[in-house]
Structure 1
């Protein structure tokens, strides 16, 4: 028997499978989806079997599969098909698609180990080479290459290591490392033979008798610690029972629960509104049609979309099916998990990157075995090993976070529709502000439409007031808070109501600026200004993580007038505490939520009323339900509006509408105050009126005129290189080859410098290709890419259906 294996190796352009022979001793284990070790280019690597067959291929030499790694995670046939689609649609190596599916801790990996061989050979070495050798000596002369790189902290680590290898000072070996995580077991006790218990005389051993009674009542094995706690016994009586042969020690598998400390609330049955009933009927009709259906659930904020999701899932479960529910942010999973667990109990599993390796392993296995039939998580949850999938929900389907920013650059919304199509499932795309592409499809009857146009209990939409900051500045008020917002915050504090302040930046201030010479500190590796963080008094680049102490004087002119400019979350938090000293404030951004569980902890504190004001970035703008929030303040609506991206207006409208929807979700009506320097902009005007159709009609006309999605498909090709001319010339040659292969004229913009022209020390050029049918174009681009010399492919990124143009 033979097998096609996708080998997990990073090699540009290597996207096809390789054929291996299956030895007789592996015939039973070498099935499609199995993780295997194979010889490849003189070394042992990990791979996954895509398919097996018996007819001998026409190849001169076929190598044998070395082994099947049974402890590693296997791919289901459905996930193999999905990986192939992701690879084809996004022009990505198939190995990258497989890697996106398998949790890192559940896959076998090949480790590169650096060995020190001859330290004497570095007597004439460079400082970097000497430092690497010194660190390697401190680590015992042998170290994992990744750990060594982190410990050394030197530039051009790979070049330095190669130089040392050429000098004979080090050598590098590769070892196959098995999956790091295993099932967790604890010691337990169970009755050896129930028939022996009646004959046991334990009248003089009450503790032993109590333990046996508890074991008999349980009907199986009991954790030793739980058993001793329940009976008030020490270890000695349990040990004696084992010695007497009345009980035996066993290992009990224990599940690592992601939310073990969060109590499960009782499910509250709601009476659906007429809108909800109608929307649910549309979704159920699709589920019962027998063919894959996609439905856009377009509902204003606070209209009860989550309840429609839960009822739809319940309908699927009652028919024996399973469901995946995607949410855009990890910060939303705890809030949603409470609602899902209240409704479906232990049938719910959660998958996201903030879980520990053990928690992710146990959740994956529960899904794989069918113990968990509902999966909740961000974009990667679309790869959950669900069997009999019947429904996929994509909440806040418009969110950019559904698009991965590294290879494979897949969009989970599109992947959800493809997986559902292949497995005969239905998809529900939910949003108050659908992406233009999705709403256009609904308007063209390509997908179904269900509408929730009013809030639950007929609660009013929040009142929105737009404050023109130009007038504030003209009157000499240059504070963070306009008079209107300042007064509104005071009013809410006096009433014991809560406020959310939305800031589209983290940090203390966007950047430092010298008022004398205009100097702004910029990252040496990236073409961006450095962000100022007040708590640590540091300047940080949020692209490459470079960090420096903030200067007290201008490094350019030496003047003392270098001051913060712009408004970040730290700055707003400080200003709130200064103006409202009695207020309790919570700041929520990526800096305060980096630790595991911090999202849920901060949101719980705010929900419980332990803070009056929540200051946050985009993570507070969507999906959260705080009944006591009656005021939302948008510090500046202009941040996203001025980005060099054709989606800038759409993102601004979506953000403002979504964050406005956090106000007035309880019994008290809400207010929203939007501060802006562009009050006349059509996106801000439409958001203030919460009028999606007004925004859609103008923006769709702009898109049609400029041939942007949904009227075209985009492919953004980026070339990055330490030398700007090389990046430009490589992309120009690529564009020339694509034009020559295309059957008709193509709309190409560029090559031109990318909006962020330098990132992590690399100059960036980009080429934007527009086409009305991108499958053929993707094939051409893949052919051109794979036909390039390996050194030319390095630094070239192909982004199909890009979300960000930066």
Structure 2
């Protein structure tokens, strides 16, 4: 029997066939992590399949061993990895790395474990030396460390003999210290209550009483509870009244969850949506778009659907747009579903992720919540996938492999017979087009829960404000609105989608603007440390006091960021209690949750933030939302800029008036007549959609085409350009040879410098391929890549279905 193993070896990986040693033949199965030799080094690999066909090689290599501590890839995920590789045109090892990044990036460690020291041969001093050294090292040690400690000739022979005698075992493991179970020392009683005699040894008796009450307990916790030293415990162990144990700790990111909230009664619209989800015909993909206005109770529909799936003994996956939302949403789901909920995201430690994955694999957790990477959660018997805020572009991975978690989630659900709920108050144009075209089902929620009114919206024309000399960060109507809310002890959200203090510095004498040398974009000015920071590559430099170009002192800040808004709030409303939420204030673990908690509990009455505050939150006491500048995303050179503007305005507006008091939104803009802004102010999704879909139809943009953005990046501008020109020439040559079935449907735009022409020290060129309905583009792209030399193909990135063209 042979195994086809996926190996990722510094970009030279692929799928290779290995022999299976007889002693591990029963353990080698598809999805198992193994150690294999590749390029004279041991690497981590995953078994893709087994075969009886021997490889055509002169010398067969064998699997070195199984890595039992690594995450297993069930058949469903292996199949999904193959789809990811095929659809996004990336090597299979890159697809697997996206699923199990810790395992595929880890190195292999060989560990020796002591099983039974008594089985070593008494007549072999070398065996006894190895056993003694292993005991001194705690019964488990790295192979090289044990070899040094044993200090014996023929170490390998002695170790082999000990393995044959079952005195030790040699295992492969990942060289990630925390990606394995966390074991601590425990104690358990071996006595009855009759053996406790407080008068004879009161300290020992106190320990015995605690053991009798709790049973097995962590040693450190036992000594803390009984306020004892280790001396009386040692005496009890020596008397045989207690014994040491090994306790496996669960590293839970947010502790244990308790079921505290009951199931809520649904409205008529919610009942209709739930019925549509549960009664979608099984012969077609069960995908339902739930389009509901903000605060219409979409989450309650998700919860009812999840509870229905759990009653069928199936599992559920909930995808949210970003890590920051996971904590907030976790509290809502865990309060209803209890300890069945697990969380997966990139900010977990290795140990926390390992334990959460084990809970999922073992069936202890049936519901997983997390951002895009959670689509790879090792759930079995999947019954439901919920994609909350499905319109968010953050579901698309920015780095290779550039997968879209929404696409993968739907593909996974179809393959596993699960239902999919796409939920949003502002669905993506593509999703809504699918719904009205009949490709997926549509459920609509037109009213807020308890028939609460939508907030009123006022548009402040900043052109008029500036003409009349009122050049304030907070316009007069917004100032008045804030003052009124503070007077009524209500809360305010202020939204500006730019962090920092000012957008840029500019010399009024010569026009010089300091730019990041790595990205060729203007630095953002940060007030506290008076620094300039690039928000693309995080380069930081001190802000100059005079112009570096001409020496003039008239260098000033222009534009507005969250720091500037917070400063303005403190100046205008000295008695207010503002908080700021952006990337800078939420870097440390736990700060995001603490800011939300403080605002929710009324410790602050004004929250200033970026798009982090615009979605998913329910603050009943927020009655005013102020949008400082609605034009931030409107004029970006991207065909989705109008859609993004509408979505962010509609979403942040939806934070107002979710409690008993009505809400108001004040939008400051220099483009008050733009259809994205007027539609958002009228809560008119259909009005926006009808205008936008005609614009897309005229220009053949998605959903009327599929796009592939081909990107070439290099530290040398000419190399980046030359590489993509070579790619473009080969692509066009093959396209001309392909015939009308491809030529009539495919357009090529470019090559040209990318809108962000330099990023993180790399010059960027791109070309856009637009496919209006062919079925052969993927095959053509694969053929082009395989025909080019590695020096060209290795520097080309294919962004399939891009969410931004920047």
- Scaled to the shorter chain, the TM-score interval is 0.7 to 0.9
Larger mean CA deviation between 577-586 and 741-750 belongs to 741-750
2-structure distance, mates of 1:526, 1:336: 35
The CA deviation string for residues 30-80 of structure 1, in whole angstroms up to 9 with x for no partner, is: 221122222223333221111111222444443222222222222111111
Aligned equivalent of 2:471: 478
Q: Indicate if the aligned counterparts of 2:44 and 2:104 stay in contact, CA closer than 8 A.
A: no
The aligned runs of 1:307-326 (5 Å cut-off) are 307-326=300-319
> In structure 2, what is the equivalent of residue 244 of structure 1?
239
Q: In structure 1, what is the Cα distance between the partners aligned to 2:290 and 2:334?
A: 22
Q: Deviations over 1:581-627 (max 9, x none)?
A: 11111110001001111111100000010111100001100001000
- SS of alignment partner, residue 279 of structure 2: helix
Number of equivalent positions:
736
- Which residue in 2 is equivalent to 1:179? 176
8 Å CA contact 2:69–2:174 kept in 1: the answer is no
Show the counterpart of 2:693. 700
- Alpha-carbon spacing, 1:106–1:719, altered in 2? closer, same or farther (3 Å): closer
Does structure 1 residue 417 correspond to structure 2 residue 413?
no
What residue is the counterpart of 2:252 in the other structure?
257
Give the one of 75, 98, 104 matched to 2:96: 98
Structure 2 equivalent of residue 132 of structure 1: none
1:105 deviation in Å? 6.8
**What is residue 445 of structure 2 aligned with on the other side?**
452
1:778 maps to which residue?
Answer: 778
Tell me which residue corresponds to 2:579: 586
1:59-458 alignment, distance < 5 Å: 59-104=57-102, 108-109=106-107, 178-181=175-178, 182-192=180-190, 198=194, 204-205=200-201, 208-209=204-205, 211-218=207-214, 220-230=215-225, 233-260=228-255, 264=258, 266-286=260-280, 289=282, 292-458=285-451
C-alpha separation in 2, matches of 1:85 and 1:785: 18
- Partners of 1:227 and 1:526 lie apart in 2 by 56
Aligned to 2:662: 669
Report the Cα offset of residue 546 of structure 1.
1.7
- Find the aligned partners of 1:721 and 1:247 in 2 and give their Cα distance: 65
**How big is each residue's C-alpha offset from its partner over 1:517-541, in whole Å with a ceiling of 9 and x where there is no partner?**
2111111121211111111111111
- Specify every segment of 5 or more residues in structure 2 that has no aligned partner in the other structure, as ranges: 110-171
**2:769 counterpart residue number:** 769
Go from structure 1 to structure 2 and tell me whether the alpha carbon gap of 1:265 and 1:176 turns closer, same or farther (over 3 Å shift): closer
CA change 1:368–1:290 in 2 (3 A) is farther
Of 681, 694, 704, which residue of structure 2 is paired with 1:688? Answer: 681
Which residue of the partner structure matches residue 631 of structure 2?
Answer: 638
Give the deviation of 1:774 after TM superposition.
Answer: 6.3
Equivalent position of 2:704 in the other structure: 711
Separation in 2, partners of 1:764, 1:179:
35
**Residue by residue, what CA displacement relative to the aligned partner does 1:629-658 show, whole Å, maximum 9, x if unpaired?**
000000101010010000000000000000
Q: Given the alignment of the two structures, is residue 529 of structure 1 paired with residue 553 of structure 2, yes or no?
A: no
For residue 754 of structure 1, what is the aligned residue in structure 2?
754
User: Aligned equivalents of 1:185 and 1:37: distance in 2?
Assistant: 24
TM-score, normalised via structure 2 length: 0.88
| Structure 1 unmatched runs, 5+ | 112-174
**Contact (CA 8 Å) 2:193, 2:212: kept in 1 or not?**
no
Q: Pick closer, same or farther for the CA change 1:207–1:277 going to 2, 3 Å.
A: farther
Contact 2:258/2:339, CA 8 A, preserved across alignment: no
2:46 pairs with 1:53: no
Residue 45 of structure 1 contacts residue 176 of structure 1 at CA under 8 Å; is this kept in 2?
A: no
Matches of 2:375 and 2:348 in 1, distance apart? 16
Task: Give the Cα–Cα distance (whole angstroms) in 1 for the partners of residues 634 and 557 of structure 2.
Answer: 22
Question: Once structures 1 and 2 are overlaid, which stretch shifts more, 61-70 or 760-769?
Answer: 61-70
Does structure 2 conserve the Cα–Cα contact (< 8 Å) formed by 1:330 and 1:352?
yes
Query: Contact 1:72 / 1:179 at 8 angstroms: preserved in 2?
Result: no
1:17 aligned counterpart, secondary structure: strand
CA distance in 2, matches of 1:543, 1:795: 21
Compute the displacement of 1:700 (Å): 0.5
> Distance in 2 between the 1:787 and 1:632 partners?
55
CA-CA distance at 1:269 after TM superposition: 3.5
Q: Is the 8 A contact 2:70 2:174 kept in 1?
A: no
Q: Which deviates the most, 208-217 or 459-468? A: 208-217
> Bigger CA drift: 671-680 or 554-563?
554-563
Within 2, Cα distance between the matches of 1:200 and 1:489? 68
* Structure 2 match to 1:143: none
User: Is the 2:67–2:173 Cα contact (8 Å) retained in structure 1?
Assistant: no
1:233 deviation in Å?
A: 5.0
CA distance in 1 between counterparts of 2:387 and 2:407 reads: 10
* TM-score for the superposition, normalised by structure 1: 0.88
**Which protein, 1 or 2, shows the higher relative CO under an 8 Å CA cutoff with sep ≥ 6?**
1
- What is the alpha-carbon root mean square deviation over aligned residues? 2.1
